Amino acid sequence: MKKVMVIGGGYGGLRAIETLYKYEDIAITLIDKNPYHYLQTEAYGYIAGRFDVHEVAIDLKNWCEGFKDRVTFIHKEATSVNFEEKIVYLDDNELSYDYLIIATGAKTHFFSFIKGLRENSYGVKNLQRAHNFRVEFEDLIYKKLRHEEGYQEGELNIAVGGAGLSGVEVAAEMAYVLETYSKTIGDTAKEIHIYLIDASDTILPGMGKYSIEKTKKRLESLGVKILTGAFINSVDGSHIYFKNGEKIPYSFMIFTGGIKAAELNDSVKNEKNSINQLIASPELNIQDHEEVFAIGDCVQIKDSEENILPPTAQVAEKSAEYVAKTIRQRIDGVESQAFDADVQGIFIALGGKYAVGEMFKYIKVKGYIAYLLKKAITHAYYLGLRFRINTGFKNRIR
């Protein structure tokens, strides 16, 4: 039996386990500092109150039980790794491996050059912060509904800093919810404005022209105020201050403007880029260690034309499948090919039953059809998780 250890139960870690499970001579251990898998891609709906917590988080112990004793779950933080000795350190224990997959993802990068950003904004890459924002957002709407005196009277702003994929989705869903609520709870909901702010001269920097144009149109129709080319200088408890001297008042702020690879990379002796992602070989190995792989957001991944790919669940899952198969080849002494992410496109949820997407470079869709396609992808993913959980429960009953 070969021991494969996976650190991180995110999109990459879970897909790696699903693929490795096919090989019966492999024993798998999953380590995660959280007891749940967080479906970050659904965070926009959770924040806006459209999804419940059970739709964005899955218990990892129950999920692992769906593999009939083949996968052991350890709810601990991995603190460091000794590659020479092939040992992963937890705060109170150490575990040995034959093959290691680092899948620790990334966290929000609250840029230190923006004074007050960390103290005054929420991130969405962690369930707790997303949950805190959801509570604030719900509370705000509740108080508006009650016309509560002395609290946030009149016009107020919610700011989303960063107009990449996650920022755009969060802004659109909140604006959609407010627009819908204004019909039921009254016009006070219209007093809440959503600002989407980015330093680039466009929203969705790096994405296709079609997605950018259609997304902008949709956001504007939902009343989102888009500020591009807007450099945030500092944030205090009441205002966002821009480099050009302007400022806007705000009540709550979400920051989605950047990511940084998770802390475990700090203890890993390997070349890293400016956002702490590991620089791996074409086979996604870390330097000098053919038995150690890195996948997903914690590693810098390039396409066949050497462009750095944006970190997405899709790339995390593809790199996971590749690495699981490569481990099989290494065990069998078979040579492996370099990883090719071959990204097939992306769908952007834009509030309610509306999305925009581009697939295989040529297919471009928007509106309800794009929403149905996005929903089908996310639903299939969720059903896969539920399948494992249900299998685990059946095993327990026996």
Q: Which residues of the chain form contacts with ligand FAD (CB under 6 A)?
A: 7-13, 31-34, 40-41, 43-44, 77-78, 103-105, 124-125, 165-166, 169-170, 262, 264, 296-297, 311-314, 316, 346
First to last CA, the chain: 26
Radius of gyration, CA atoms only, the chain: 22
Smaller CB distance to ligand FAD: residue 28 or 242?
28
Nearer to ligand FAD, 48 or 227 (CB): 48
Q: What is the smallest separation between the CB atom of 69 and ligand FAD, expressed in angstroms?
A: 22
In this structure, the number of other CB atoms found within 10 A of the CB of residue 242 comes to 18
According to DSSP, the residues that pair with 357 across neighbouring strands are: 347, 365
Q: How many CB atoms lie within 10 A of CB 372?
A: 13
**Smallest gap from residue 237 Cβ to ligand FAD (A):** 25
Nearer to ligand FAD, 143 or 364 (CB): 364
Q: CB nearer to ligand FAD: give 66 or 123.
A: 123
Strands (E), 256-341: 259-261, 278-279, 285-286, 289-294, 299-300
* Distance of alpha carbon 380 from alpha carbon 398, whole angstroms: 27
Q: Indicate the SS3 state at residue 56.
A: coil
Pairing of strands 225-227, 192-197: parallel
Q: Which is nearer to ligand FAD, 141 or 299 (CB)?
A: 299
**Nearest distance in Å: CB 68, ligand FAD:** 23
Q: Name the minimum Å distance from CB 348 to ligand FAD.
A: 7
Asked if 53 contacts 43 with a C-beta cutoff of 8 angstroms, the reply is no
Query: CB-wise, 241 or 355, nearer to ligand FAD?
Result: 355
Q: How far apart are CA 27 and CA 17, in angstroms?
A: 10
Toward ligand FAD, which CB reaches closer, 58 or 241? 58
CB of 31 to ligand FAD, least distance (A): 5
Phi-psi region of 14 (alpha: psi -120 to 50; beta: other; left: phi over 0): alpha
Q: Which amino acid is at 224?
A: V
CB-nearer residue toward ligand FAD: 160 or 241: 160
If you search the block for the tokens 């112990």, which residue do you land on?
61
Question: ∠260-50-372 over CA atoms, to 5°?
Answer: 90
Shortest Å, Cβ 315 to ligand FAD: 7
Q: Which residue is nearest to ligand FAD (CB)?
A: 10
Pairwise CA distance, residues 3 & 139, whole Å: 48
Least separation in angstroms between residue 9's CB and ligand FAD is 5
Pairing type for strands 93-96 and 87-90 reads antiparallel
